[in-house]
Amino acid sequence: MAPRMSDDISGGWWFNIPPEERDAAYRKIQDSIHPASDFHKNNPFGNSNLPVPINYGPNFTGRRKRRVVAFDCEMVGVAPNKRSHICELCVVDVLTGEVLIDCVIDPKQNIIDWRTESSNMTATKMRYHRRYASRDGQYLEGFEAAREAFFNFVDQNTILVTHAGDNDLKALGLVHNRIINTQILTKKKVSEIYGRNVNPYSLKQITYELIGRWIQGFDGHECLEDTLATRDTCLRILKRPQDLEAWAEWQVRLLTGEEKRVVRLLFGEEEIIEKPYKQRELWGQPTARERIDKIYRDKEKKEE
């Protein structure tokens, strides 16, 4: 699949880094890499049945790779025990904004748990991609093909930007030590101010509260949308650390009860809402599975 600019997605919804600022942005990102102990607190693979994870060796060769990428994977459960298998992979160049990979991955195994609410995958969507998407480079078969596509752009020197990416690394059978994790960045800052460990924050929440964008709506997790949100949230945190500081202080006031979430409603009233970033998920809407199936049935009709 030929790379395309993230400005092409949602009408330029995402942050752009001018070419003359990219080297400075890279240095800032490089200075923010987590120590390995931060990310791999324990063996992230545990007793996984995935293939043995690969460490990039010093002799890893190939064409020049990207300096910094954000990535996200979605997973389904395969037989016999609902083991997680990658079903979608998105990779975005953090500095240029290019969408490098946006592919459905066919496990080529019996899928017994579609996990639609989190994976955005259904049998209808997979069938459509099997039939039609390979011509556009948006369909790959199997774990090895997904990893090969990933390695086209990533080597041991590439910085990976992710949100809670342990499971994504597992899905790719990958060990990597140049990582920035937006979940760790936000959790650590709140914990430092609060003076005790706090629960991690979801990508949906920090995207809404730090950069004012609503993601993961009626159709569940969109892999590309999550990847772009991770990229932009990371860039906002690193470019404006004072915003992260202010947000973390607000989270502490919420935790201590000094402040309540108050949002202004359409007609001017104020109301305490615990999780306003979830309020657009309204009752009476079709389920994610119903909405996704309709989208891909309509696409199939156009192809026939």
State the Cα–Cα distance between residues 234 and 230, nearest whole angstrom.
6
* Residue 51 in this model has a pLDDT that exceeds 80: no
Is-contact 18 237, C-beta < 8 A? no
pTM: 0.84
Q: Which of 55-59, 166-170, 189-193, 221-225 has the lowest mean pLDDT?
A: 55-59
Q: Take residue 303 and report the two structure tokens written for it.
A: 């192809």
102-124 pLDDT per residue, tens: 999 999 999 999 998 888 999 99
Is residue 251 a contact partner of residue 242, using CB atoms and an 8 Å limit?
no
* Rounded Cα distance, 126 and 53, in Å: 27
Instruction: Identify the CA nearest to 172 among candidates 41, 51, 303, 43.
Output: 51
User: In whole angstroms, what is the distance from residue 110 CA to residue 235 CA?
Assistant: 39
Q: Write the single-letter amino acid at 210.
A: L
What is the residue extent of each domain of the chain?
4-303
Would you list the DSSP string of 157-207? TPEEEESSTHHHHHHTTEE-S-EEEHHHHHHHHHHHHHTS--PPPPHHHHH
- Residue 217 has a pLDDT of 72
Domain 4-303 has CATH 3.30.420.10: yes
Do β-strands 139-141 and 98-106 pair in parallel, antiparallel, or remain unpaired? Answer: parallel
> Which residues is 90 bridged to in the sheet?
72, 102
Give the ranges where the chain is alpha helix by DSSP (H).
Answer: 22-31, 36-39, 116-119, 123-132, 143-151, 166-171, 182-194, 203-211, 223-239, 241-256, 288-303
**What confidence category does residue 168 fall into, taking pLDDT thresholds of 50, 70 and 90?**
very high
Q: What is the mean pLDDT of residues 161-167?
A: 91
74-92: per-residue pLDDT in tens?
Answer: 999 999 999 999 999 999 9
The confidence score (pLDDT) of residue 112 equals 96
Cis peptide before 200 (omega within 30 of 0): no
